[in-house]
């Protein structure tokens, strides 16, 4: 007999049972009530954090599947569609989490103050699910803003601390995407070397610019333009040269591997080629996720300033000041944004060799004769 048929619950109660509604609706217990000074807005504050934690759970669930699909040494092309669908969903959830803050802003600072004491040291800072998502996406311990008292995870219980430590040791989504990019076959194919071809095109663009300004300008204006072009040339050399790139990684300018970087540029520049369309979408949705997480950090920091000014947070941080510094410093996929520095106009882009283009295209062609069907029986 199926488990649901064996249940004693009446059909009209199945909705509540399915959603464990009794437990869920019994989980809002304002601490200001316990202290004998009920504060009306604490209910909103609790429900807000609870809905966030539920969405964090969904994000982790999506990440489980994405990271599993990325964990093989060769990612099956068919996995790209579900990976993109899950990433789109994570982006949509973050968009919702940012917009949702409108509701929290209906709480006045005075109303927050009325229950703030009752929270004691409880703070979103101790959200282990948030820390887990950060770590799984690729925020490394050494890249975090140093915290006021020891480590960001000191206040977590040993079980949750262990979960985060394991996530930090395992390949993050950043590492997996970098590895996947580094394996992109089209960066070097047959006699074609994307890096050599692109480097020549960049030099050509910069030489053309220099010739143009030499004709149009003189004196100080010419010197200023030529030195700007030289600066651009040096910037490009930072990525074209493997040793310079390695130095950039050491100095924290880049995190992405040299091969990964080349592939990300190839995909960005030639994204209209059929085989590169899905990878280009992947890079774009990853940037959406990074941007939405950054927007959330920023709006959360503004709300904190609105509610508490520059007062110390319940977890003991500098509050607004600390949170604002995480907005830039805790970004994970900044390298993908940095790529835009190294683009050249489409007109200057060297065409791909015809043999490579045909490999990158869909094999089906309307003029192809129909494939004969195998006879039945
Ligand atoms: C009135 C609303 C809120 C206030 C005044 C507030 C205040 C703060 C403060 C001051 C911090 C810094 C740590 C500390 O010293 O406590 C913090 C961190 C944090 N809060 Fe909030 N918060 C609010 C709403 C929320 C909501 C709705 C969430 C959703 C889960 C949230 C999640 C977090 C997270 C994840 C952190 C850690 C951020 C990081 O370290 O990068 N907060 N909050």
Residue nearest to atom 34 of ligand 1 (CA): 124
pLDDT of residue 6: 54
Q: Which atom of ligand 1 is nearest to the CA of 97?
A: 29
Q: Within 13 Å and on the Cβ side, how many CA atoms surround 149?
A: 8
Distance from the alpha carbon of residue 145 to the mean position of ligand 1, in angstroms: 15
Please check whether residue 325 lies inside any domain of the structure: yes
**Model confidence band, residue 173 (pLDDT cutoffs 50, 70, 90):** very high
Confidence of residue 172 (pLDDT cuts 50, 70, 90): very high
CA distance 80 to 111: 47
Q: Is residue 55 lining ligand 1, measured as CB closer than 6 Å?
A: no
User: Residue 369: inside a domain, yes or no?
Assistant: no
- Whether residue 70 is contained in a domain is answered as yes
State the pLDDT at residue 1: 47
Question: Which residue(s) pair with 193 in the sheet?
Answer: 188
In a domain, 236, yes or no: no
- With residue 193 as reference, give the H or E element that holds it: strand 192-193
pLDDT digits (tens, 9 = 90+) for 46-87: 999 999 999 999 999 999 999 999 999 888 889 999 999 999
Domain contains 205: no
Can you tell me the distance from the alpha carbon of 267 to that of 273, in angstroms, rounded to the nearest whole number?
Answer: 9
343 within some domain: yes
Hey, whose CA ends up nearest to atom 35 of ligand 1? 124
Distance CA 35, CA 307 (A): 22
Task: Among 167-171, 287-291, 352-356, name the one with the lowest average pLDDT.
Answer: 352-356
pTM for the predicted model, two decimal places: 0.92
List, for residues 206-221, the tens digit of each pLDDT value: 999 999 999 999 999 9
In the three-class reduction of DSSP (H, G, I as helix; E, B as strand; rest coil), residue 150 is classed as coil
Per-residue pLDDT tens over the stretch 7-44: 565 667 899 999 999 999 999 999 999 989 999 999 99
The lowest-confidence range among 277-281, 315-319, 341-345 is 315-319
- Average pLDDT over all residues of the chain: 93
Residue 110 placed within a domain: yes
The answer to whether residue 291 scores a pLDDT higher than 70 is: yes
Could you give the C-alpha distances from 291 to 92, 113, 132, 222, 333, in angstroms and in order?
12, 31, 18, 38, 9
Q: What is the pLDDT of residue 55?
A: 98
Please work out whether the CB of residue 155 comes within 6 Å of at least one atom of ligand 1. Answer: no
* Mean pLDDT value of segment 233-259: 94
Whether residue 65 is contained in a domain is answered as: yes
Residue 115 has pLDDT above 80, yes or no: yes
For the chain, the domain total comes to 1
When pLDDT is cut at 50, 70 and 90, the band that residue 364 belongs to is low
Determine the structural domain holding residue 91 and report its residue range. Answer: 46-187+277-350
User: From the CA of 208, how far away is ligand 1's center (Å)?
Assistant: 52
% of the chain beyond a pLDDT of 70:
93
CATH code, 288: 1.20.58.480
């Amino acid at each position: 007999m199926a488990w649901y048929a064996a249940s004693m619950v009446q059909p009209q109660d199945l909705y509540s049972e399915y959603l464990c509604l009794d437990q869920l609706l019994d989980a809002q217990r304002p601490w200001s009530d316990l202290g004998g000074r009920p504060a009306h807005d604490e209910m909103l504050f609790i429900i807000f954090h609870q809905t966030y934690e539920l969405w964090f759970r969904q994000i982790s669930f999506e990440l489980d599947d994405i990271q599993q699909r990325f964990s093989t040494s060769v990612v099956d092309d068919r996995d790209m569609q579900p990976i993109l669908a899950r990433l789109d969903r994570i982006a949509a959830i973050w968009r919702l989490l940012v917009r949702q803050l409108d509701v929290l802003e209906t709480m006045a600072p005075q109303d927050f103050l009325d229950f703030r004491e009752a929270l004691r040291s409880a703070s979103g800072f101790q959200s282990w699910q948030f820390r887990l998502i950060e770590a799984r996406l690729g925020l490394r311990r050494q890249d975090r803003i140093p915290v006021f008292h020891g480590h960001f995870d000191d206040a977590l219980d040993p079980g949750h601390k262990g979960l985060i430590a394991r996530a930090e040791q395992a390949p993050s989504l950043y590492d997996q995407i970098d590895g996947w990019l580094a394996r992109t076959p089209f960066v070097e194919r047959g006699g074609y070397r994307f890096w050599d071809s692109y480097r020549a095109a960049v030099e050509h663009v910069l030489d053309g610019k220099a010739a143009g300004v030499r004709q149009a300008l003189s004196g100080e204006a010419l010197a200023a333009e030529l030195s700007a072009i030289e600066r651009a040339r040096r910037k490009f050399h930072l990525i074209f040269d493997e040793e310079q790139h390695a130095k950039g990684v050491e100095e924290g300018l880049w995190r992405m591997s040299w091969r990964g970087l080349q592939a990300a540029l190839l995909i960005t520049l030639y994204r209209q080629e059929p085989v590169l369309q899905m990878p280009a979408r992947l890079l774009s949705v990853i940037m959406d996720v990074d941007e939405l997480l950054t927007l959330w950090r920023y709006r959360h920091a503004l709300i904190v300033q609105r509610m508490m000014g520059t007062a110390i947070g319940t977890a003991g941080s500098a509050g607004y000041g600390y949170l604002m510094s995480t907005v830039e410093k805790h970004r994970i996929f900044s390298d993908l944004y940095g790529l835009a520095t190294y683009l050249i106009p489409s007109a200057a882009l060297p065409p791909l060799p015809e043999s490579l283009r045909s490999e990158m295209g869909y094999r089906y062609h309307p003029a192809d004769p129909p494939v004969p069907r195998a006879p039945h029986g």
